[in-house]
Amino acid sequence: MSLVNSVFSPAGVDPRSTILIVDDVPENLEVLGELLQPLYRVRAAHNGERALRVARSYPMPDLILLDVMMPGMDGYQVFDALRADPLTREIPIIFVTALDGLREEEKGLELGAVDYISKPLRPGIVLARVHNQLELKKVRDRLQDENSFLEAEIARRMSENLFIQDVSIRALARLAEIRDPETGNHLRRTQAYVSLLARRMALGPRDAEALTPARVRLITKSAPLHDIGKVGIPDHILLKPGKLTPEELTIMKTHASLGYEAILHAEEDAERPVPFLACAKEIARSHHERWDGTGYPDGLAGEMIPLAARLMALADVFDALISHRVYKAPMSLDKARELIVEGSGSHFDPLVVEAFLTDFEQFQEVAQRYRDEAGE
């Protein structure tokens, strides 16, 4: 019976390892098939093109014994094609050839073959090397499965931790918002504005190195805590339906340092560094600083102001301009845009203003998506 292009195994499911033997000489296929069939499920191909089709079909081989000298595609070409295909690139390959010389063996191993068997074949050598490579493959597959499980478990736990972290941040931020009911969707809008600005600034030469994707995520995550210090402002000042007196304004300004101190204490209580708290601390303290140095609480100027706080400063002011307050009507988006531009170089970092102008349409979309309901 001819064994070319056949599968040497009983019908039905076979739990044994599958070996593909590739050789253009039928007699060689017969010899290898008879040698390996008692221990393994064996498939065969008599040329390179057929070998590629068999290798990609079920049951896929756990090991390939590949002849080097074949008409059409030789063994090296078949090897290259198998390695180029994601479906077959991990299958271990043993070169089998009558070619003599160490150079040919070195070439096969340099290409990435796991072993090299010379003809004439010696049954004991063939069985030993096939067994060894299949055992190694089982170990590699088991390690890969374990690594995949561990990676999936780590990803699941990280996702769960990030979700809990985000909920906790939102809950903390709501403490300030609940005491100041006029803010409405202020947190959602300013967080989205900060995200837009950070991603745009990351494309520029000045801040590209500082604004890595991870840093942009931290800044965005931390933004809702910018006014957490308002929980320490007395109600008669925080909820006053009118202009504050100079004394009251002085007290109101302390919310920046109060927020910083609250986050600082939380940071000190943590058993290990929490990156988003460090970022939130900068934003809470410095988002009322001004580019020209006339802001508070520290009178910082220019790039002495943390970048995250510079982004928050523009986002916060823009949202305040377009939002309803008991002491003022909301400003139009275009008018607010003009005032932001006027503040470039005095209130705001000029490059942040440029980023704002570039993405102004997206700012408008955010303002519309999270607009406050009438009477809120």
Tens digit of each residue's pLDDT (9 = 90 or more) over 142-160 = 888 888 888 888 778 777 7
Reduce the DSSP state of residue 206 to 3 states and report it.
coil
pLDDT for position 10 = 42
pLDDT for position 363 = 97
d(CA 21, CA 63): 9
What is the arithmetic mean of pLDDT over 107-112?
74
pLDDT in tens, 333-353: 999 999 999 999 999 999 999
| Residue 150 backbone phi and psi in degrees, to 5 | -65, -40
Nearest to 306 by CA among 276, 282, 288: 282
Tell me the percentage of the chain whose pLDDT exceeds 90. 56
Q: What is the strand order of the sheet 93-97 is part of? A: 7-8, 41-45, 18-22, 63-67, 93-97, 115-118
Query: Which pLDDT band, with edges at 50, 70 and 90, does 268 fall under?
Result: confident
Residue 197, pLDDT > 50, answer yes
Nearest to 44 by CA among 83, 35, 32, 167: 32
Instruction: Name every residue whose Cβ is closer than 8 Å to that of residue 301 and which is 6 or more positions away in sequence.
Output: 289, 290, 291, 292, 293
| Residue 11 backbone phi and psi in degrees, to 5 | -70, 155
Calculate helix-pair angle for 350-358, 186-201, nearest 10 degrees: 100
pTM, entire model: 0.60
- 180-369: CATH architecture: Orthogonal Bundle (1.10)
d(CA 115, CA 96): 9
Is the separation of the CB atoms in 272 and 215 below 8 Å?
no
pLDDT for position 184 = 58
pLDDT for position 149 = 84
DSSP letters for 68-95: S--SSS-HHHHHHHHHHSTTTTTS-EEE
**β-strands 115-118, 93-97 pairing:** parallel
Instruction: Kindly report the number of other CB atoms within 10 A of residue 48's CB atom.
Output: 23
d(CA 64, CA 124): 18
d(CA 55, CA 44): 10
Least confident among 22-36, 155-169, 208-222, 270-284: 155-169
pLDDT for position 177 = 67
What is the arithmetic mean of pLDDT over 297-318?
97
What is the arithmetic mean of pLDDT over 219-227?
91
d(CA 19, CA 43): 6
Tell me the percentage of the chain whose pLDDT exceeds 70. 86
d(CA 358, CA 353): 9
Q: Side chain identity at 15, as an amino acid letter? A: P
pLDDT in tens, 73-93: 998 999 999 999 999 999 999
Is the separation of the CB atoms in 177 and 187 below 8 Å?
yes
d(CA 264, CA 283): 12
- For the chain, domain boundaries: 7-148, 180-369
Q: 63 - beta bridge partners?
A: 19
- Matching fold, domains 7-148 and 180-369: no
Residue 220, pLDDT > 70, answer yes
Q: What share of the chain is helix, strand, coil (3-state, %, to 5)?
A: 60, 10, 35
Residue 120, pLDDT > 80, answer yes
pLDDT for position 8 = 43
Which helix H or strand E contains 203, and what residues bound it? Answer: none
pLDDT for position 273 = 79
Residue 7, pLDDT > 80, answer no
End-to-end CA distance of the chain: 86
Give how far Cα 131 sits from Cα of 18, 40, 184, Å. Answer: 12, 10, 69
What is the arithmetic mean of pLDDT over 63-77?
91
Instruction: Please identify which residue in the block is written with the tokens 């009322």.
Output: 288
What is the arithmetic mean of pLDDT over 315-323?
95
pLDDT for position 271 = 74
Fold of 7-148: Rossmann fold (3.40.50)
